[in-house]
Chains A and B, each alone.
Chain A
Amino acid sequence: AQKITQTQPGMFVQEKEAVTLDCTYDTSDPSYGLFWYKQPSSGEMIFLIYQGSYDQQNATEGRYSLNFQKARKSANLVISASQLGDSAMYFCAMREALSSGGSYIPTFGRGTSLIVHP
């Protein structure tokens, strides 16, 4: 079974509008962390935002926020006021504590391609 599922292979958004990128995860570990990364066409992976399983508040970093719904096992990324430079691949990743035997090796989803139109 997929640990991380990103069901949207491609998304389009108008500049200055908000967009939500979906991520669902599967774990029985009570302690885990969720990450979002951005990969522009240049190829580098850029860390955006982190949410811990015990965090009470949804994480926010500038225009990025994470809609964390623990009971539904979803961690959707919300980008507000989209910019042309937001066009990239976006990857959701999960790091488990116990299930990984303490090695904390992150598992990545297949990614969502976001294109921002002017």
Chain B
Amino acid sequence: GAGVSQSPSNKVTEKGKDVELRCDPISGHTALYWYRQSLGQGLEFLIYFQGNSAPDKSGLPSDRFSAERTGGSVSTLTIQRTQQEDSAVYLCASSPRAGQGDSPLHFGNGTRLTVT
């Protein structure tokens, strides 16, 4: 498809387990963002990738969160030792290039993570 693809769409996990969330951006988009949306809240920035530059990890809430982007394309967000407060919808977005300030973000449908 032409849009941003995220998998899985839903994930239920037990507290303390690790989870991996996947994002496949639009082909050719060099900028990739991860956001978290808790129930009734706005979007909380987590991490940003731009091409081959070092990622901006300033939004990651703890060292249990990490992300990588392989080959400038697919990204994986990993949450280790999940906690109940990690329950949220994790949204991935891409844009053609970050230096183009008027480029809107194109979002995936998100992964709904529930930690029991």
Residues of A that sit less than 8 Å from B by CB:
4, 31-33, 35, 37, 42-47, 50, 52, 91, 93, 95, 97, 102-111
Contact = CB atoms under 8 A, between A and B. Distances in A.
Contacts of B31: 104
A105 B33 contact: yes
Contact of A105 (B41, B45, B91): B45
Interface centre among B41, B99, B104 (most CB of A within 10 A): B104
B18 to A, nearest CB: 24
Interface band, chain B: 20 to 34
B16 to A, nearest CB: 27
Contacts of A109: 42
Given A103-B48, A106-B105, A43 B89 contact: yes
Contacts of B48: 103, 105
A102 B97 CA distance: 11
B101 A95 contact: yes
A104 B59 CA distance: 14
Contacts of A50: 102, 104
A95 B104 CA distance: 10
B101 A110 contact: no
The 5 closest A-B pairs by CB, nearest first: A45-B107, A47-B104, A108-B43, A110-B42, A104-B98
A109 to B, nearest CB: 6
A33 B102 contact: yes
B69 to A, nearest CB: 15
